[in-house]
């Protein structure tokens, strides 16, 4: 079963991650891509790439044909897409191509959460009360959690607090599950409000050897999707860790598990009880934190197992050192319920002064659209203790130069710096309970500093680009004229900067602070402002000016000197908070609505987003129909 060529049936950061290990092992890597990814980093990092047509990353037959065409001897599915599709795995094996993962039968059984729970019960692993019959929901007791039987990643998942919301939540969950997994089956289980999401990494070979590599805690989630993960958990005791690990291995041995996988548990923070949730028969997004604390390359282990090699270590030989934390950087707006954002990354540059591992599939210039998951990168740090790992991660996020569209970076930094996070108080209600600030908080002095840097950058650029009288100081005149003036907009507020040049690159601002320009290059400006000196990275795209500060990036908009008349949104207008497809319309023209009523359901990136009425009123105008594609900010209806 030796192979020297590998096709990666995936994209983005996980494709880059697999390619890296393949190269280290001397294996030729082959990427597949669609037109939207033609300039993506993973396409160029692979030794060879092949373009897909209809169906893209979900067209199993086309992917197999690509493998045969390029002579790929093995296929690694990564995560998402077809990674847990048993039918695809069977087709791959039928073509005598090596499948990097567990057997199709195991994928089939474990991919069905209902069957997986039945096997867990047989293995004497504790499970939560559940039912697949809505009329039995009341017996379990509210609050409830609706989950898709065939998937994960938060798709098809709904929390239900009251019986009156059950029916609509089931319909929405089924529709989302159908869209994401082509399987609308759901089940209902007890929802544990103050809990932790703990998962155990397992490895199994074809000789019956199965080990676990400890736990990861993934409790901090928004929209039922993880955003911060770590290993080890700050809460799990050695005894619970052993019991969980033993339960995971016991279940894995019962199903004769091969390759890398994850057994997920729910841990009650009050009682220290834990219950089986599911088995993910693939590599997890958060696998790097396990690699950091164990020193074991999980992709390498997957490839070795697929070659028929036995595990090189026993359970007793596995050790855990230090602490590792991962943050997922998304193109999304935390202030708008974490809804995805689209746009172009005008800057995406990590700072090497901050020690961190960046697993990313984007670069400066990448266009982030609605076709794929909005995750931009995973940033992982390691330290001998958890406090230092958290500090290093916050520093890595702060020091990177990233902009062009909204991201959750500042929210992640704020989470990592909270007293609760640093003390390990990270239960699944963390975001709602702790409520970290969802944006970068800037005071008056800081906004003065930022706008001064932007003004000086523009002033110097204009001076350098001038075709006449370059020997004269900028703004020089032999008469008395007003100070030079420039206006910026930040978070819908206008900031006017007035300044005059004194001498030798020194400038005096109207807010009685001085600036001195030491130097300037194509990437940024070295400036002293109000006695504070720093080199600031500056990126300009159109009227947007991205200024990097020690605490992050600020995007300013240069306001034109003369404003053209613009369009106005109708009073009472309901606009799309994101680009997407209208999949359900709950109202008609003339219908009365109450605050909180669901009016429209949009689908974007395989997730549903309900748009609700903000106040009582009547739908006076309706501009959309089911199946319409709408852009961000599009006027959907008018409610008066």
CB 353 within 8 A of CB 537: no
Q: CA dist 500 to 301, 505, 511, 576, Å? A: 63, 11, 12, 43
Token pair 């958890």 in the structure block, residue:
386
Which contiguous run of DSSP H or E holds residue 421? Answer: helix 419-422
Residue in 613, 609, 460 with CA at minimum distance from that of residue 545: 460
CB atoms within 10 A of CB 75: 30
Is the CB of residue 48 less than 8 Å from the CB of residue 394? no
- What backbone phi and psi angles, to 5 degrees, belong to 328? -95, 120
Non-local CB neighbours of 522 within 8 Å, separated by 6+ positions: none
First to last CA, the chain: 68
* CA-wise closest residue to 325 among 381, 405, 259: 381
Task: Calculate the alpha carbon distances from 335 to 228, 261, 316, 408, 614 in Å.
Answer: 18, 34, 47, 9, 16
527 contacts 518 by C-beta, under 8 angstroms: yes
CB 85 within 8 A of CB 22: no
458 neighbors 485 (Cβ within 8 angstroms): no
Exposed / middle / buried, residue 640 (Cβ in 10 Å: 0-12, 13-18, 19+) = exposed
* Omega of the bond leading into 599 within 30 degrees of 0 (cis): no
Helix axis angle for 298-306 and 287-294, nearest 10°, is 90
CA pair distance 229, 113, nearest whole angstrom = 23
For residue 433, indicate whether it is catalytic.
Answer: no
Asked if residue 269 lies in contact with residue 194, where contact means CB atoms within 8 angstroms, the answer is: yes
**Residue 233 DSSP one-character state:** -
Measured CA distances, 393 to 139, 228, 230, 386, 441 (Å):
44, 11, 11, 11, 19
- Find, among 214, 199, 194, the residue nearest to 426 by Cα: 194
Q: Which of 17, 216, 282, 409 is catalytic?
A: 282
| Maximum pairwise Cα distance, the chain | 91
Closest CA to 124 of 242, 240, 251, 244: 251
Q: Structure tokens of 464?
A: 């350098």
Edge to edge, what strands does the sheet with 617-622 contain?
Answer: 573-575, 635-639, 617-622, 592-593
The string of DSSP codes covering 459-517 is HHHHHHH-SS-TTSPTT--SS--PPEEEEEEETTEEEEEEEEE-STTEEEETTS-EEEE
Residue positions annotated with a catalytic role? 282
């Amino acid at each position: 079963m030796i192979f020297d060529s590998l096709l990666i049936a995936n994209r983005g950061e996980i494709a880059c991650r697999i390619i890296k290990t393949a190269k280290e092992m001397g294996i030729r890597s082959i990427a597949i891509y669609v037109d939207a990814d033609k300039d993506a980093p993973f396409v160029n990092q692979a030794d060879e790439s092949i373009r897909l047509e209809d169906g893209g990353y979900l067209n199993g037959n086309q992917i197999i044909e690509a493998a045969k065409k390029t002579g790929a001897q093995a296929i690694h599915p990564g995560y998402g897409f077809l990674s847990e599709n048993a039918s695809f795995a069977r087709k791959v094996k039928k073509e005598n191509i090596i499948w990097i993962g567990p057997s199709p039968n195991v994928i089939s059984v474990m991919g069905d959460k209902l069957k997986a729970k039945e096997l867990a019960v047989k293995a004497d692993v504790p499970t939560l009360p559940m039912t697949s019959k809505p009329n039995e929901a009341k017996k379990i007791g509210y609050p409830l959690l609706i989950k898709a039987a065939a998937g994960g990643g938060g798709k098809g998942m709904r929390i239900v607090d009251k019986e009156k919301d059950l029916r609509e939540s089931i319909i929405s969950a089924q529709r989302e599950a159908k869209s994401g997994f082509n399987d609308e089956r759901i089940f209902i289980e007890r929802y544990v409000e103050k809990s932790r999401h703990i998962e155990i990494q397992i490895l199994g070979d074809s000789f019956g050897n199965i080990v676990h590599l400890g736990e990861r805690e993934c409790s901090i989630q928004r929209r039922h999707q993880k955003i911060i993960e770590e290993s080890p958990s700050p809460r799990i005791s050695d005894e619970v860790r052993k019991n969980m690990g033993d339960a995971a291995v016991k279940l894995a041995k019962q199903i004769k598990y091969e390759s890398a996988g994850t057994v997920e548990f729910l841990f009650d923070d009050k009682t220290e009880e834990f219950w089986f949730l599911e088995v993910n028969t693939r590599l997890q997004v958060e696998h790097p934190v396990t690699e950091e604390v164990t020193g074991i390359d999980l992709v390498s282990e997957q490839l070795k197992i697929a070659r028929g090699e036995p595990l090189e270590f026993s359970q007793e030989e596995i050790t855990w050192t230090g602490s590792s934390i991962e943050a997922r950087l998304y193109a999304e707006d935390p202030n708008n319920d974490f809804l995805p954002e689209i746009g172009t990354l005008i800057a995406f540059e990590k700072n090497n002064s901050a020690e961190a591992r960046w697993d990313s599939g984007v670069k400066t210039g990448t266009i982030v659209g609605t076709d794929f998951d909005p995750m931009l990168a995973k940033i992982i740090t390691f330290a001998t203790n958890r406090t230092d790992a958290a500090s290093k991660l916050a520093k890595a996020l702060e020091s990177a130069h990233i902009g062009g569209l909204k991201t959750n970076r500042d929210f992640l930094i704020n989470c990592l710096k909270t007293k609760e996070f640093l003390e390990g108080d990270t239960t699944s209600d963390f975001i709602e309970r702790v409520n970290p600030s969802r944006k970068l908080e800037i005071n008056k002095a800081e906004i003065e500093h930022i706008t001064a840097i932007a003004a000086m950058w523009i002033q110097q650029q204009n001076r350098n680009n001038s075709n006449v009288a370059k020997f004269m100081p900028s703004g020089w005149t032999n008469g008395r004229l007003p100070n030079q003036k420039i206006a910026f907009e930040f978070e819908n507020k206008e900031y006017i900067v007035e300044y005059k040049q004194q001498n030798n690159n020194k400038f005096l601002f109207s807010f009685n602070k001085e600036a001195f320009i030491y130097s300037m290059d194509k990437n940024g400006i070295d400036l002293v402002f109000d006695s504070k000196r720093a080199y600031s990275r500056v990126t300009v795209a159109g009227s947007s000016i991205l200024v990097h500060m020690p605490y992050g990036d600020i995007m300013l908009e240069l306001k034109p000197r003369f404003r053209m008349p613009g369009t106005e949104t109708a009073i009472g207008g309901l606009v799309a908070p994101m680009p997407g497809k209208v999949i359900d319309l709950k109202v008609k023209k003339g219908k009365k609505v109450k605050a909180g009523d669901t009016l429209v359901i949009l689908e974007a990136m395989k997730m549903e987003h309900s748009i609700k009425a903000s106040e009582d009123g009547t739908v006076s105008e309706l501009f959309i129909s089911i199946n319409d594609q709408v852009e961000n900010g599009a006027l959907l209806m008018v409610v008066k």
